């Protein structure tokens, strides 16, 4: 993708069908947890913000889809079946994580944002705590 997409729908229109369907389902799961979230594009990928702070990011790569920003370290046991790194969960197109897991991950990020000092612009660690 050479230019930054204007919004999440524009981003999704550029990815292959199987990845698009997976990311649309992931988006639905995230918004179900936090319906008043604000959707945007940041770092050229879909971003969901809560109280003005990035809650999660998601996107598609050549061979996988990914959810960025959840508390991976705090949920290692639940994420054992996925390819993970510090703040990333990778999964095949057509196989999004179960909704209950996405709900727990998003709720953990919400709790971390709410626990952060008011107005603090610091980064959140992958464990979902202030860094």
Domain ranges of the chain: 8-115
Give residue 86's pLDDT: 87
Give residue 92's pLDDT: 97
- 81 vs 31: CA distance, rounded Å: 24
Give residue 35's pLDDT: 94
Per-residue pLDDT of the chain (131 residues; tens, 9 = 90+): 468 899 999 999 999 999 999 999 999 999 999 999 999 999 999 999 999 999 999 999 999 999 998 778 888 899 999 999 989 999 999 999 999 999 999 999 999 999 985 655 544 444 444 44
Give residue 130's pLDDT: 43
Closest CA to 38 of 52, 28, 22, 19: 52
- 42 vs 97: CA distance, rounded Å: 22
Q: State the helix-helix crossing angle for 17-33 and 99-115, rounded to 10 degrees.
A: 50
What CATH number does domain 8-115 carry, 3.30.450.40, 3.30.1330.60, 3.40.30.10, 3.90.1150.200? 3.90.1150.200
> How many Cα atoms sit within 13 Å of 35 on the Cβ side?
1
Which residues, in sequence order, are CB contacts of 41 under 8 Å at separation 6+? Answer: 4, 5, 6, 7, 8, 10, 11, 47
């Amino acid at each position: 993708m050479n230019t930054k997409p204007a919004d999440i729908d524009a981003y999704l229109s550029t990815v292959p069908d199987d990845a698009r369907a997976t990311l649309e389902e992931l988006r639905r799961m995230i918004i179900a947890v936090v319906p008043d979230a604000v959707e945007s594009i940041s770092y050229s990928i879909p971003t969901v913000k809560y109280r003005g702070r990035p809650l999660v990011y998601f996107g598609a790569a050549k061979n996988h889809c990914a959810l960025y920003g959840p508390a991976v370290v705090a949920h290692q046991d639940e994420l054992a079946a996925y390819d993970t790194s510090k703040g990333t969960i990778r999964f095949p197109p057509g196989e999004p994580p179960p909704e209950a897991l996405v709900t727990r991950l998003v709720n953990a990020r919400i709790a971390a944002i709410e626990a952060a000092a008011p107005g603090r612009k610091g980064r959140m660690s992958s464990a979902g705590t202030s860094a």
